Structure 1
């Protein structure tokens, strides 16, 4: 006879008994830190590459710069990539979103720092790819292609050439305001669609894509839509040596400070709101706990009043289900049977020593009415005089006569 080895490990105790089999936990990609970091790197790379190329090629080839293409391209890109990889890493792809998630404890500090490094690396890789794919010539240099994808303000704004003819420009204050507004929309939409453990909800990709579309609609004419420090850094590094009108690195500070400040404000609002709602919930629970004894007292008083005004039959039925003696005030008015029974018992007790035989007969005759239901177990019940009289007569008739 052959025996097959079990594929599952079996643990044996010292006494020879077989212990419970170990529970095997399925390891998901989200449970591995480096897999989540790789997802953030890959997602940021794809998003930034599409943004760089679509902004540069689309605007220049169309001839007439328009905000429609950047809005649709950015919204769809974030939506698709977040739907693809959001289940693995949570779909941040933005250091501002990661910072807000760190403040709200949706991700640990170590994981957050790893996410930010991975996002910046992915954006730098996308910037290198975009610069390498841009076709250049003497009439169309690199800066002509990159001016629509590099973030900047004042002289680095996409509308700088048009506004310069009117002797106006979008300065740093305007850029700070629009970037703050756009980043707050993006971060709020991303954070509120993440679970407490950092996992993405089902609507996370949709709301994130729509938020980026709204943010680009507000910021593109002024700053070329930063909204993401990694996205601004990836293209600025490689555009620094392309003889741009304004040095991209010199203006990069605004596209880091504004998103991080927006993330801090959103996280602060979420934390304060959570504290307020928790306090209100605790107060409501305390009020309910304080009101519970009063409600029990009212119910007790109501029960007593109901019992006091209830009919005699109902009171007797309630008394049969209780272990305590019935209240004296609720006893029946007719106490004749009770008096006779007590006297009978006293007579029996007094005459036990004189004549045991007679006392036994007398006790049997006298206790009979008590057994008929007058005061069983010291509880008062309704008396039925007619039926008791008939039962007593029948018992006397059936009792054998003594000679």
Structure 2
């Protein structure tokens, strides 16, 4: 058996531009990721804005945290379900990166997935800004007493759990019938992680979710945490699951 690092390197592929970017099937996957990210961010961000308006700024309360968990869980469930058969239902640059590390998507297609997800998030936040009469989209920030390194570790761990769940229920070729509940499982782990980490970091787990509000509100405070943490957590989950639990009997991608 080749060394572990060699197993991963052998599975990573750049891809051909004609097949991975300009082919009609590839373009459909990018559109699906754009729409799914838009649906998810619109629901998640919109719920926070609505709850804050209805409770006069009470989004940062236990009830607001539960509402955010439910809205994001349900929104992601739908976003993954509607794009699963087209693009795989990533909806998240960290998921895409984790899939790339495990050799389940090429570099070229992964880059365009991420671009589509980011654009979907920005458009969702712009739509919320205009349709609510100019209310500010809720950016991600650290709670008082939480250091950047505390938040960094939180985002790594939460995203690890999310991408591990994606691998187990959606990517693993041995998933069998459990694949039918993948969108539900993915939505539930996000909702659970928001309940666990939302009061500390906002529980992004998704660079696109943090990117849209940052662009529209132009608030980039500690924004690197919401990229570095999820990408590291997603990459670790992809590498570990691929190496430990998936037995590849075919040639690398």
Q: Would the TM-score normalized by the shorter structure come out above 0.5? A: yes
Whether 1:239 and 2:232 are equivalent positions in the alignment is no
1:181 corresponding residue in structure 2:
157
1:51 corresponding residue in structure 2:
44
Equivalents in 2 of 1:173, 1:274: separation in Å?
30
Paired residues, number? 219
Q: CA deviation at 1:31?
A: 7.9
Equivalents in 2 of 1:190, 1:124: separation in Å?
24
1:82 corresponding residue in structure 2:
80
Q: How do residues 179-258 of structure 1 correspond to structure 2 at under 5 angstroms?
A: 179-195=155-171, 201-240=179-218, 248-258=219-229
Structure 2 residue runs of 5 or longer lacking an equivalent are 1-22, 249-253
Residue pair 2:139, 2:210 contacting (<8 A) in 1 also: yes
Q: CA deviation at 1:211?
A: 1.1
Q: Which has the higher contact order (CA 8 A, sep 6+)?
A: 2
The correspondence for 1:152, drawn from 141, 162, 180, is 141
Q: CA deviation at 1:133?
A: 2.6
Structure 1 residue runs of 5 or longer lacking an equivalent are 1-29, 137-141, 161-168, 241-247, 279-403
Superposed CA deviations along residues 341-398 of structure 1, whole A, max 9, x for unmatched, are xxxxxxxxxxxxxxxxxxxxxxxxxxxxxxxxxxxxxxxxxxxxxxxxxxxxxxxxxx
1:130 corresponding residue in structure 2:
128
Q: CA deviation at 1:196?
A: 5.6
Superposed CA deviations along residues 156-178 of structure 1, whole A, max 9, x for unmatched, are x4xx4xxxxxxxx2221221122
TM-score between both structures, scaled by the size of structure 1: 0.51
Superposed CA deviations along residues 45-96 of structure 1, whole A, max 9, x for unmatched, are 1111111111111133134432110111111111122122211111100000
Runs of 4+ in structure 1 deviating by more than 3 angstroms, as ranges, are: none
Q: CA RMSD in A?
A: 2.5
Q: CA deviation at 1:124?
A: 0.9
